[in-house]
Structure 1
Amino acid sequence: MKKNIAFLLFLICSITSFGQIIEPVKWKSEYKKIDDTNGELIFTATIEDGWSIYSQYIDEGGPIPTTFTFENPNNDFELVGKTEEGKPVLKFDKIFEMDMAFFYDKAVFTQKINLKNTNIDFIDVLVEYQTCDDEKCIFESSEFHVPLSTSNEVSNDAINLSANDLEKANALKLDLKGKETYLKDANEEDKSYLTIFLLGFLGGLIALLTPCVFPMIPLTVSFFTKGAKDKKKGLGNAILYGLFIFIIYILLSLPFHLLDSVDPEILNNISTNVTLNIIFFIIFVVFAFSFFGYFELTLPSSWSSKMDNKATSIGGIVGIFFMALTLAIVSFSCTGPILGSLLGGSLSSDGGAMQLTFGMGGFGLALALPFALFALFPNWLNSLPKSGGWLNTVKVVLGFAELALAFKFLSNADLVAHWGILKREIFIGIWLLCALGMGLYLFGLIRFPHDGSKRKLPLGNIIIGLASFAFAIYLIPGLTNTKHANLKLLSGFAPPMFYSLYDKGTSAPLGLTAYKDFEKGLIAAKKEGKPIMIDFTGWACVNCRKMEEHVWSREDIFKVINEEYILISLYVDDREKLDPAEQFKFLKENGNTKTIRTIGDKWATFQTINFKNNSQPYYVLIDSNLNLINSPIAYTPNGNEYLAWLKEGMNNFSKL
């Protein structure tokens, strides 16, 4: 998923995690006796924060539902009705284009049984399920040896392994070289927050240059420094005023944390909702025309009046807080569109509420700093440029930027709903018109309602106008069906290369040659003298599809994978049964056993044994002699980072 937040562009952020076995779901089983021949098998899943499992009832073509298999070879009991489950959370999933049923925190499944043989002591049950968070999915199974007693004892006992089981498990082990260098444990680390904070800060600096905020700086600072009884108190009040501005913008993000805690995926789901993307599109168009000067967007005047009255009547620290709140309200017509960009960008990323808080914090700090700095150094006020027509020019330029961003949201809706109305070339054409319009305006060839009389062009107009025309020229190849159509500056913003008027197909990853068996891929790599890219994936892995559709589909990345590597895609959720002779039991690190029945079980175990990881997507680069050539990575929506990782592997391979 494009993970981004900024004023003009949405920043892609990435989180990589590897070298760890993840167990976000813990199961407990018990038997509850009703009478001598009837009872209930109860299975309780405790799910870590941020993770979920699917209901048993998922339509065909969707992800893997939770399934229960009750072993009954001697017909010792019969199932009474279906396995019952608690009430799930219903949400629409854009990848599978269907409503999904999820469980968070806790899920309870109950199966009534009737005993035909009251002498049996245990019932064996296999539970298979898929658990996911915002970045990865895990396909797991748990085997239960449930005692038919009233003790409600938890049992998930390991079964003794045979020599055949041990032999087949050992056959999956690779003699990997370079593990000490490339398979060190790594803690999950999000380096994007500082960048998001800085971009929010940049948005705040831009907001300072708008006519709603800029004239307030000298007026407010003078009020504190000259209106106070002594200079020291005035200085303290001005700094406190700036601090309250910063706090107010932080507070604006708190409701989204509440939403995030109720449902960890709600912000990401909002970003993929077709209706809400269209609403964002309409809002941004309205913001743009407001910046153009056709009308003024303001919050109700009664709000600012009430806040101003409180600031005047209360006084002291509380009064200063209400003064800061008044500024936030009266400047909304200029800051609102920029804050809308922050909000829209955050809801399009996996960072969600926390990213929004960092962005709002940066924005608030940028607005607050001038009031504190000019209070500390009041002589600086003399160096401020005077208010004038240039402030309106800033607003109109922001209007063109808002208009371009509006079509990003419409593009999101178009891609999810498969309307086909905003293909890549149409999107780029609209951005080209926005760039041309901005340039023509800055050179005085287009006029808007609040523009004053024509005057000599300022140097700033000329520089930014020429930059706008240069950007428009840069966009022109994107309208063509040539090798130059891939515009790297728009990567992640424009629709993907294959979503084109030139009918380039609907899924570029399908054009790749991928081996589905590790040994066959290894043989091909030795024959062709190429390194190997192991892609641990799943047919029902949402984030795997995101990587293929939004990262692999980039022309430069697609080319590297297709031409430089042997791709081995191992599907850990493949339900095709292995031959009975190939099936075996595997001892997991927690002491429980897992029966390897399917192809998916085999490759999931292969991943766990060799790379100490059980999440998907997960990518490993090795050579045909089983040398690791760089560190594995997981879900990496930042295309540039993913491409750099691929190239690093090629460079290391060439040195071996």
Structure 2
Amino acid sequence: MKYKLLLVVNLFFLSLFSSAQDTQPVQFSFDKAKTAAGEFELKIKAKPAAGIQLFSTQKISEDLPVNTIINFDTAAKIFLRDSIKESGTLKTTVDATLNNATIKYFTDSVEWVQKIKLNKGDSTRIIGSINYYYKKGESIESGEQRISMQFQYNADDTAAIADVGNSSIQSKSLWGLLLAGIAAGLIGFLTPCVYALVPITVSFFTKRSKTKSQGKVNALFYSLCIILIYTLVGALVATVLPKNALNNLSTNWIFNIFLFVLFIIFGISFLGAFEINLPSSWSNKIDSKAGIGSYSGIFFMALTLVVVSFSCTGNFVASLLGLSTAAGKLAPIIGMLGFGLGLALPFAVFAFFPALLSGLGKSGGWQNALKVVLGFLELALALKFLSNADLDKGWRILDREVFIVLWVVIFVLMGIYLLGKIKFKHDSESAKNDFGVPYVSVSRLILAIASLSFALYLIPGLWGAPLKAVSAFVPPMGTQDFIANGGGGSNVIADKQNNSAVASPQKYITKLKKYEPLAAINNNLTIYYDYAEALAAAKILKKPVMLDFTGIQCVNCREFESKIWIDNGVGQRMKNDFIIASLFCDYNEELPDNEKRFSKLLNTTIETVGDKNEDLQAELIQASGQPNYVFVDGDGKLLVQGGYGYDATKGPKEFIAHLDKVKEEFKKRFP
């Protein structure tokens, strides 16, 4: 049974990594053509990959709805004329997997044409979707492709033709996520659902095994199974979601609202309002298969632990999966691997050294206090996800000062709780000293001091203090309505371009300038938000370009800006020696039709400004992840290979050295 289990695991990971290499089964491209005054054709071309049979729009039968369907939004239907025409080399065959039905499909390419009719002066974006079916090998699968194309009937009746295509995290970030997972696992181990099971579980292995060595082997296998189960959870997330979807998901406002609600629910649960448990029938069925008689029984014991401890560990799993969405395809696997390792490691240690059990503290009130503290932290972190959605949609409901006020209140309340002045549902009575007087332990006092001190540290941020320690989490300075040293956050940023020969930044500036870091304001930097504008300025001023691949919701980007950009040496070099372009890879403004195209590097559609910037980063340095600083000349050619990414161990000194290296290389090329 042991070898069968290992075989299943190996096959799973083999399928995981092989699926990561798959290309899209069908590539779509779009075109539009003017046929008469106010009349256009929307042309959709689909090209199946080798070995793919793309089904026609013609129905097979009413009982087999597996034909391709092209739908348009209701608002677009008033502009549609006639039905969609299909052209291509149509093939037919009898398919045994579909009850010997005759299927119609394409293997090379197919084109669908939809006529559009506009009235003079009309301007509309035709939006719809292609729900297509295809056969790959012996399986029939489906997919969906979005349609988005702008049509306009100008006074001179002209229309531009546009092509549209359908569309590695840094190792140090993965190491950081692994360590965060281990830390979360160790904290999860201390929760009541897990901690109380340690003596029973360890004794079960040490006393019921035939020999001590066999008991240790069983305990080690039990720990490995815990790690494996959590890793499989991360692997499933990475497998189900397609390439680049995790990064897009992390910046999606709906997903961030979902995480906000999830963290609020877990936070309130930890405060004692209610318990979150998986159905008891799940744990009962799994527990019935658990036992020490075989490796499969031990595996089900580990699975039982995972299920029954969900009420305490579920929030950690959700948090890691939510935070890992911005870190790449392998991030959920690494995060869950770390969590399983942190949770399982103590079981193995106590099984190998059972004498340590005697020093293990009893479970009790201190564990509920730990849950309450985690509840407060969950509520604080929930606000970060709400802030992400707020920044993406521009609601301005959680501006910087509002965010800081809420954090101050949360950490003040946490400090008061740690001092014993607030009690929750499951809290026990405070410990009493030798005189029968309730007292606060030294550990709780230290934590209370830390919490209240942190709240006091945040308060100056209400008047515009940079708050370097948490600048990566609070909203950008541009969202603050009042700054003590300069009035409104959006008004202190003036046009800083003094060279009349160079055009000031124009594209996206009204929407992205509010994300300009405080260091840029203090150093009086001119920042471009469009690659082409930056290159044009670089050619005129004969300076190298510093491409700052960043993100609106990028935590490490804010950390880098607050610790590196703020340095005087860095700021002066950026101001005097470089053209700065901040290219946001999560800015979701839709591109004009003539800028949309298919990216082979991302294997997806480039439809937004963020997609375009992410594709440029992949093209220049074959890497993703932000922040990343890439240096090019006015023609867009790399001055130094690779990018300069975030590294918590490096400071301004190292970045200055890198900037000087770029300057020297630029001087060699353009003496």
What is the TM-score normalised by the length of structure 1?
A: 0.59
Write the letter of the residue equivalent to 2:359: S
Match of 1:504 among 484, 489, 501: 489
Q: Deviation of residue 200 (structure 1)?
A: 0.3
Helix, strand or coil: the match of 1:398?
Answer: helix
Instruction: Please say if residues 324 and 332 of structure 2, whose CA atoms lie closer than 8 Å, have aligned partners that are also in contact.
Output: yes
Residue aligning to 2:375: 399
Instruction: Please say if residues 428 and 479 of structure 1, whose CA atoms lie closer than 8 Å, have aligned partners that are also in contact.
Output: yes
Alignment deviations for residues 176-214 of structure 1 (CA, whole Å, 9 cap, x no partner): xxxxxxxxxxxx853322221111010000011111111
Q: Deviation of residue 270 (structure 1)?
A: 3.1
Q: Distance in 1 between matches of 2:650 and 2:398?
A: 27
Instruction: Please say if residues 189 and 343 of structure 2, whose CA atoms lie closer than 8 Å, have aligned partners that are also in contact.
Output: yes
Greater relative CO, 1 or 2 (CA 8 Å, sep 6+)? 1
Match of 1:390 among 356, 366, 369: 366
Q: Distance in 1 between matches of 2:471 and 2:163?
A: 38
Instruction: Please say if residues 199 and 362 of structure 1, whose CA atoms lie closer than 8 Å, have aligned partners that are also in contact.
Output: yes
Instruction: Please say if residues 561 and 567 of structure 1, whose CA atoms lie closer than 8 Å, have aligned partners that are also in contact.
Output: no
Alignment deviations for residues 15-40 of structure 1 (CA, whole Å, 9 cap, x no partner): xxxxxxxx9999999xxxxxxxxxx9
Q: Distance in 2 between matches of 1:614 and 1:373?
A: 39
Residue aligning to 2:56: none
Residue aligning to 2:454: 471
Q: Distance in 2 between matches of 1:357 and 1:340?
A: 13
Alignment deviations for residues 255-289 of structure 1 (CA, whole Å, 9 cap, x no partner): 313322xx323333333333332232222112112
Equivalences for residues 307-322 of structure 1 within 5 A? 307-312=286-291, 315-322=293-300
Q: Deviation of residue 534 (structure 1)?
A: 4.6
Q: Deviation of residue 395 (structure 1)?
A: 0.8
Residue aligning to 1:225: 206
Equivalences for residues 392-541 of structure 1 within 5 A? 392-455=368-431, 456-481=439-464, 485-502=465-482, 503-505=488-490, 506-508=511-513, 512=526, 516=533, 521=538, 524=541, 532-535=544-547
Q: Deviation of residue 227 (structure 1)?
A: 2.2
Alignment deviations for residues 71-119 of structure 1 (CA, whole Å, 9 cap, x no partner): xxxxxxxxxxxx94699xxxxxxxxx99897999999x9xxxxxxxxxx
Q: Distance in 1 between matches of 2:353 and 2:144?
A: 57
Q: Deviation of residue 229 (structure 1)?
A: 3.1
Residue aligning to 1:242: 223
Q: Deviation of residue 252 (structure 1)?
A: 1.7
Q: Distance in 1 between matches of 2:593 and 2:653?
A: 34
Instruction: Please say if residues 320 and 335 of structure 2, whose CA atoms lie closer than 8 Å, have aligned partners that are also in contact.
Output: yes
| Structure 2: gaps (5+ residues) | 1-22, 30-42, 51-69, 76-109, 115-124, 133-141, 148-160, 432-438, 483-487, 491-510, 517-524, 584-590, 596-612
Paired positions, count = 468
Helix, strand or coil: the match of 1:343?
Answer: helix
Q: Distance in 1 between matches of 2:594 and 2:424?
A: 65
Q: Deviation of residue 612 (structure 1)?
A: 9.3
Instruction: Please say if residues 191 and 371 of structure 2, whose CA atoms lie closer than 8 Å, have aligned partners that are also in contact.
Output: yes
Q: What is the root-mean-square deviation in Å for CA atoms of aligned residues?
A: 5.2
Residue aligning to 2:282: 303
* TM-aligned CA distance change 1:445 to 1:225, over 3 Å: same
Q: Deviation of residue 411 (structure 1)?
A: 1.3
* TM-aligned CA distance change 1:413 to 1:552, over 3 Å: same
Q: Deviation of residue 652 (structure 1)?
A: 4.3
Q: Distance in 2 between matches of 1:544 and 1:324?
A: 40
Q: Distance in 2 between matches of 1:614 and 1:202?
A: 28
Q: Deviation of residue 127 (structure 1)?
A: 8.7
Q: Distance in 2 between matches of 1:489 and 1:570?
A: 22
Alignment deviations for residues 376-403 of structure 1 (CA, whole Å, 9 cap, x no partner): 1111111212222211111111111111
Alignment deviations for residues 328-381 of structure 1 (CA, whole Å, 9 cap, x no partner): 11111110111111121122x0414x2111111111111111222111111111
* TM-aligned CA distance change 1:478 to 1:545, over 3 Å: closer
Helix, strand or coil: the match of 1:452?
Answer: coil
Q: Distance in 2 between matches of 1:296 and 1:192?
A: 34
Write the letter of the residue equivalent to 1:480: W
Q: Distance in 1 between matches of 2:253 and 2:582?
A: 32
Write the letter of the residue equivalent to 1:409: F
* TM-aligned CA distance change 1:198 to 1:307, over 3 Å: same
Residue aligning to 2:176: 195
Alignment deviations for residues 129-150 of structure 1 (CA, whole Å, 9 cap, x no partner): 5787xx8xxxxxxxxxxxxxxx
Match of 1:633 among 643, 647, 659: 643
Are positions 1:213 and 2:194 aligned together? yes
* TM-aligned CA distance change 1:219 to 1:474, over 3 Å: same
Q: Deviation of residue 310 (structure 1)?
A: 2.0
Residue aligning to 1:69: none
Q: Deviation of residue 649 (structure 1)?
A: 3.7
Q: Distance in 2 between matches of 1:98 and 1:461?
A: 61
Alignment deviations for residues 489-517 of structure 1 (CA, whole Å, 9 cap, x no partner): 22332222212233523532788265947
Residue aligning to 1:328: 306
Higher mean displacement: 200-209 or 404-413: 404-413
Residue aligning to 1:284: 263
Q: Deviation of residue 562 (structure 1)?
A: 6.1
| Structure 1: gaps (5+ residues) | 1-22, 30-39, 48-54, 60-82, 88-96, 110-125, 136-187, 526-530, 538-542, 578-603
Q: Distance in 1 between matches of 2:281 and 2:228?
A: 23
Q: Distance in 1 between matches of 2:592 and 2:624?
A: 15
Q: Distance in 1 between matches of 2:459 and 2:475?
A: 15
Q: Deviation of residue 564 (structure 1)?
A: 4.0
Instruction: Please say if residues 287 and 402 of structure 1, whose CA atoms lie closer than 8 Å, have aligned partners that are also in contact.
Output: yes
* TM-aligned CA distance change 1:204 to 1:616, over 3 Å: closer
* TM-aligned CA distance change 1:458 to 1:630, over 3 Å: farther
Residue aligning to 1:351: 328
Q: Distance in 2 between matches of 1:204 and 1:620?
A: 36
Q: Distance in 2 between matches of 1:380 and 1:552?
A: 41
Helix, strand or coil: the match of 1:212?
Answer: helix
What is the TM-score normalised by the length of structure 2?
A: 0.58
Q: Distance in 2 between matches of 1:435 and 1:463?
A: 14
